[in-house]
């Protein structure tokens, strides 16, 4: 059938129509006679709807041809401002009249030289396209800067009809037009206009909302559209808008921005952006266009966009809504080429800088959206930020007056990385926040208990004496991270993040950060940037330095206070001195630490100095290391009865039936805290759940996996069993049994009358949760509370919670598991005449590399006072091998306080091996060195 009016002439002088042969019946089908739409009716309805939508957007947006003369097209200037309902009603009327329908193209494109038929490459582009594209892009960029602008014009939009916004369909049409014409100017202009303006980009690639006026009016339109009356049109036009904001947006188009209906989200995580459409559009762009046609324009456009986004964030003027700003940022973050060199040098730094003033609620919403819609892109986004930071660190010129913390091109992407950090947690597996323990069990809680509560009572003090412990020492819990508080989550809730937390470490940055300066920034009252507030980006070894500076400053502060008291006639010991006997080390340490805790718990913050009775030795760190080792060996001995050993995992757990007082558990908590405070690594073997509980997270079923794998496997099998005969197969009630270290069996009912309640499909999850809660929390609540109290006596004022996750606290306590002596060899220094090329040194390392792991541990113990690997590996252990005279029969000796190994210059390798093995196997205690 023929349309009314003449064929529409396109900008290239070619005839175009709306393919009237494909026009469906003018009857708009609702349903068949039976009330159920037939398949044919459904197809007709879809085809009719598609054409009506084209009329609708033609009335609202136009075809993009500035020379259009179609009176029913917004591009012609002959269409008055229409409300969404009016446009929808008129679109139905135009459909019924078979009115002219323009070809949709964003703008007119001048034809290139005609008559020249070029050979196409594999993507269908002419071989000359790539050669001309960069020139076209450069010419377009020059035209932007050279074209005079009216006051108030956007600096990113050239004179003429702007594109307004992009959809997948528009972009594909642009690509096809450019390929046919052999010129990429249209694409360059479209990308430059849309990607440089938050309003335009924020209105691009929107989801189709089912609640739009067009959809509503189509549902209410008469069945027979062929005989549509004027009264019907007026009735449809008069339908009230379902969204006044959509009408307001359609009526107030600013600076050529689109009048397209704005998407209104229905939930905080729903931004209205069609992510699948964005990714398809980018895929088509990368496939069909040469890189020179989009990389340069996009980099320039995103840089301009960043400036406007920053202005809108810092000075909200109503130019772009928060949703448009978020959508524009998300579209940019979806760019597949985000990590390429051009983007890293200009666009991405500008975007990160622009997002610095983003308000907290907006950051939280962005994190939720990324977690929900961009899981597959999080790794790419993170890698781009890591590359940017690494590039700026490597290429930066930092001095004593200009630090890494002062470089905004590093701090801005670090701040944005925090949003990805929380999005990564949200996208993974989270435990409910109710599992976080909020109770205050710090040293200063001042809570009275039994005469056996904590360290108090071990020397017969009454419960009221607990007030002595809390006097002047109560500390407020560390404030939560603001973004985490806004999202209602903590790092403790992250059972399994989408990406491992180690992916956020940046080693070049960690090596470049001077933690003494960063710690000063952290403590400063000024609004200085400190990486300690963004600890996720630092390696555990670097964060250990931050904790070390905090501890040392606190120790020096206690010394100054002691000197002041001495001057005024009240002498105080500037150190925490412990004098113990080797044969009674637990009893002596318990009494000594108990007296300190009663008199002044702050004395635990002093530097530890240990003296073994009857032995000569000055403690510069080495004697303390042996003290910790001996305490740990004895107190974790299964014969002592405080802890049980799991044979499968070789980890220890609290004995719920221990006869020892709570003071003993408080002591081991203090020892653990003192080891961290004094930078000593311990040979303890706790399951990970202990460190999670220390940091404030209750144990759950998932913690059983590394605590008791066999039990975890059995409970998982129970949870995965789906058949109805579960009661007959497992025969398990809510009554459980367990054994103590002596093999005695105990029974416990998880709920009242549990012995009569069988586990079935309905209550199996409840059984598993109650079982795990009893084993990991309830049964050892008394012992663990005392243990944690002792730990917090020492660490309550330190930034431990700020810097470290539970997995990192384990490294802090136990050291690294990377036992690589090649790293130690590369990090070792030489003194006294030895060099790396000395024959005895070469023989030494040949002998060491052939040792068993046990012998290597003994060598570490002999030379450093600890057989544990420090956080970050053996490369962080600064061992010094010094010459100790010529060849002799003496054994090697060591200054463990300073990690110095004194090695005589033995005459041959055999003698060196014999003397070294005897030294490491038979050494114990300290002599006068």
Residue 73 is among the residues annotated as catalytic for this protein: no
The span from the CA of 831 to the CA of 818, in Å, is: 27
DSSP 678-712: TT--------HHHHHHHTTB---GGGHHHH-HHHH
Q: Where on the phi/psi map is residue 397: left (φ > 0), alpha (ψ -120 to 50), or beta?
A: beta
Residue with tokens 């980890």: 651
- In terms of Cβ atoms closer than 10 Å to its own Cβ (0-12, 13-18, 19+), residue 357 is middle
Portion of the chain with pLDDT greater than 70, in percent? 74
pTM: 0.72
Q: Assign domain 816-922 to its CATH architecture.
A: 2-Layer Sandwich (3.30)
Residue spans in the chain of domains classed CATH 3.30.2410.10: 816-922
Exposed (0-12), middle (13-18) or buried (19+): which is 798, by Cβ within 10 Å? buried
- Helical axes 909-922 vs 853-864, angle rounded to 10°: 80
Give the whole-angstrom CA distance, residue 50 versus residue 22: 11
Q: With residue 276 as reference, give the H or E element that holds it.
A: helix 275-288
How high is the pLDDT of residue 425?
A: 96
Q: Indicate whether 460 pLDDT > 90.
A: no
Give residue 355's pLDDT.
95
Domain 702-776 has CATH 3.30.2160.10: yes
pLDDT on residue 781: 92
- CATH 3.30.2160.10 domain position(s) in the chain: 702-776
Residue 632 has a pLDDT of 84
- Between 98-107, 579-588, 686-695, 753-762, the lowest mean confidence (pLDDT) is in 98-107
Q: What is the DSSP string of 325-392?
A: HHHHHHHHHT-TTTTSHHIIIIIHHHHHHHHTT--HHHHHHHHHHHHHH-HHHHHHHHHHHHHHHHHH
**371 closest CA partner among 421, 434, 433, 432:** 421
Angle at 602 between CA 599 and CA 607, to 5 degrees: 115
Distance separating alpha carbons of residues 367 and 364, to the nearest angstrom: 5
CA–CA gap between residue 556 and residue 45 (Å, rounded): 81
pLDDT beyond 50 at 181:
yes
Tell which wins on pLDDT, 44 or 684.
Answer: 684
Identify whether the C-beta of residue 746 lies closer than 8 Å to the C-beta of residue 657: yes
C-alpha 591/C-alpha 593 separation (Å) is: 6
pLDDT in the model for residue 861: 80
DSSP 479: P
Mean pLDDT confidence for 762-776: 94
Q: Which fold is adopted by the domain 554-699+781-813?
A: Hect, E3 ligase catalytic domain fold (3.90.1750)
Reply yes or no on whether the pLDDT at 389 is more than 90: yes
Look at residue 476 in the predicted model and tell me its pLDDT.
52
Q: State the pLDDT confidence band at 260, using cuts at 50, 70 and 90.
A: very low
Neighbours of 184 (CB within 10 A): 29
Q: Which residue has the tokens 């009674």?
A: 584
pLDDT in tens, 689-727: 999 999 999 999 999 998 999 999 999 999 999 998 999
pLDDT > 70? residue 642: yes
Q: Is the pLDDT score of 73 beyond 70? A: yes
In this predicted model, which residue has the larger pLDDT, 460 or 709?
709
Question: pLDDT value at position 712?
Answer: 94
Do residues 768 and 718 touch, judged by C-beta distance below 8 A? yes
Q: Are 274 and 206 in contact (CB under 8 A)?
A: yes
Other CB atoms within 10 A of residue 846 CB:
12
Question: Which pLDDT score, from 0 to 100, does residue 2 have?
Answer: 40
Query: Considering 68, 73, 102, 897, which one is annotated as catalytic?
Result: 897
Average pLDDT along the chain: 77
Annotate 567-623 with three-state secondary structure: HCCCCCCCEEEEEECHHHHHHHHHHHHHHHHHHCHHHHHCEEEEEECCCCCCCCCHH
- Whether 467 has a pLDDT exceeding 50, the answer reads no
Residue 12 has pLDDT above 50, yes or no: no
- Tens of pLDDT along 558-577? 777 777 777 776 667 778 88
Which pLDDT tens digit goes with each residue over 812-852? 888 877 777 888 888 888 988 888 888 889 889 988 888 88
Intervals of CATH 3.90.1750.10 along the chain: 554-699+781-813
Residue 19 has pLDDT above 50, yes or no: no
pLDDT at 151 over 80: no
């Amino acid at each position: 059938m023929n349309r009314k009016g003449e064929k529409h002439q396109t900008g290239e002088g070619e005839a175009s129509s709306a393919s009237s042969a494909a026009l469906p019946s003018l009857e708009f089908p609702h349903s068949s006679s039976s009330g159920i739409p037939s398949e044919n009716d459904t197809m007709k309805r879809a085809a009719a709807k598609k054409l009506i939508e084209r009329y609708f957007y033609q009335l609202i947006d136009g075809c993009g041809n500035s020379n259009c003369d179609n009176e029913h097209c917004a591009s012609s200037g002959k269409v008055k401002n229409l409300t969404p309902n009016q446009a929808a009603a008129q679109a139905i009327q135009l459909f019924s009249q078979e009115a002219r329908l323009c070809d949709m193209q964003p703008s007119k494109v001048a034809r290139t030289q005609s008559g020249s038929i070029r050979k196409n490459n594999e993507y269908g582009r002419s071989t000359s396209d790539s050669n001309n594209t960069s020139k076209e892009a450069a010419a377009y960029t020059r035209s932007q800067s050279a074209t005079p602008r009216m006051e108030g014009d956007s600096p990113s939009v050239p004179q003429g009809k702007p594109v307004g916004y992009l959809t997948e369909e528009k972009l594909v049409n642009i690509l096809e037009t450019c390929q046919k014409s052999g010129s990429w100017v249209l694409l360059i202009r479209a990308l430059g206009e849309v990607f440089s303006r938050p309003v335009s980009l924020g209105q691009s690639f929107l989801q189709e909302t089912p609640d739009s006026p067009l959809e509503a009016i189509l549902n209410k339109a008469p069945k027979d559209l062929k005989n549509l009356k004027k009264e019907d049109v007026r009735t449809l036009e008069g339908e009230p808008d379902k969204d006044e904001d959509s009408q307001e947006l359609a009526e107030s188009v600013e600076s050529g921005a689109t009048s397209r209906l704005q998407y209104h989200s229905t939930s905080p995580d729903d931004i209205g952006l069609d992510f699948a459409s964005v990714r398809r559009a980018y895929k088509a762009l990368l496939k069909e266009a040469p890189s020179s046609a989009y990389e340069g324009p996009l980099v320039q456009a995103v840089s301009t966009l960043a400036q406007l986004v920053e202005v809108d964030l810092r000075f909200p003027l109503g130019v772009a809504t928060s949703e448009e700003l978020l959508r524009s940022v998300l579209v940019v973050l979806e760019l597949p080429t985000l990590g390429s060199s051009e983007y890293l040098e200009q666009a991405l730094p500008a975007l990160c800088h622009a997002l610095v003033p983003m308000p907290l609620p907006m950051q939280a919403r962005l994190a939720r959206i990324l977690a929900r819609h961009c899981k597959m892109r999080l790794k790419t986004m993170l890698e781009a930020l890591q590359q940017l930071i690494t590039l700026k660190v490597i290429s930066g010129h930092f001095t004593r007056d200009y630090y890494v913390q002062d470089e905004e091109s590093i701090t801005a992407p670090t701040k944005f990385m925090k949003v990805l950090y929380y999005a990564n947690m949200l996208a993974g597996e989270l435990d409910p926040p109710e599992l976080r323990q909020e109770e205050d069990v710090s040293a200063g809680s001042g809570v009275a208990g039994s005469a056996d509560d904590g360290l108090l009572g071990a020397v017969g003090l009454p419960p009221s004496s607990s007030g002595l412990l809390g006097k002047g020492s109560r500390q407020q819990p560390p404030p939560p991270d603001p973004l985490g508080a806004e999202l209602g989550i903590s790092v403790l809730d992250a059972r399994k993040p989408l990406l491992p937390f180690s992916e956020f470490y940046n080693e070049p940055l960690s090596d470049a950060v001077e933690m003494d300066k960063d710690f000063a920034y952290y403590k400063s009252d000024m609004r200085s940037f400190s990486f300690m507030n963004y600890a996720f980006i630092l390696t555990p070894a670097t964060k250990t330095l931050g904790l070390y500076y905090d501890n040392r400053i606190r120790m020096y502060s206690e010394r100054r206070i002691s000197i002041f008291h001495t001057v005024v006639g009240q002498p105080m010991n500037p150190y925490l001195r412990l004098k113990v006997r080797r044969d009674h080390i637990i009893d002596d340490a318990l009494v000594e630490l108990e007296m300190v805790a009663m008199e002044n718990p702050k004395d635990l913050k002093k530097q530890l100095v240990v003296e073994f009775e009857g032995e000569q030795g000055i403690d510069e760190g080495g004697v303390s290391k042996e003290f910790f080792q001996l305490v740990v060996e004895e107190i974790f001995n299964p014969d002592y009865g405080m802890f049980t050993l799991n044979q499968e995992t070789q980890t220890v757990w609290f004995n719920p039936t221990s006869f020892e007082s709570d003071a003993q558990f408080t002591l081991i908590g203090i020892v653990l805290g003192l080891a961290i405070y004094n930078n000593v690594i311990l040979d303890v073997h706790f399951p990970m759940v202990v460190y999670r509980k220390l940091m404030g997270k209750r144990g759950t079923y998932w913690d059983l996996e590394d605590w008791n794998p066999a039990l975890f496997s059995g409970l998982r099998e129970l949870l995965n069993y789906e058949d109805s005969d579960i009661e007959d197969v497992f025969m398990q009630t809510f009554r459980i049994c367990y054994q103590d270290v002596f093999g005695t069996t105990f029974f416990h009912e998880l709920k009242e009358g549990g012995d009569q309640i069988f586990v079935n499909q309905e209550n199996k999850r409840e059984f598993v949760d109650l079982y795990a809660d009893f084993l990991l929390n309830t049964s050892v609540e008394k012992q663990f509370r005392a243990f944690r109290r002792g730990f917090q006596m020492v660490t309550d004022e330190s930034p431990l919670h700020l810097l470290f996750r539970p997995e990192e606290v384990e490294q802090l306590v136990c050291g690294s598991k990377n036992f690589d002596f090649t790293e130690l060899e590369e990090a070792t220094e030489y003194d006294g005449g030895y060099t790396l090329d000395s024959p005895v040194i070469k023989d030494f390392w040949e002998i060491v590399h052939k040792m068993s792991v046990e012998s290597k541990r003994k060598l570490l113990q002999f030379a450093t006072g600890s057989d544990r690997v420090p956080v970050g590996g053996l490369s962080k252990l600064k061992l010094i091998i010094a010459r100790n005279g010529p060849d002799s029969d003496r054994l090697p000796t060591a200054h463990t306080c300073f990690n110095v190994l004194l090695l005589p210059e033995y005459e041959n390798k055999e003698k060196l091996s014999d003397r070294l093995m005897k030294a490491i196997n038979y050494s114990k205690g300290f002599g006068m060195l």
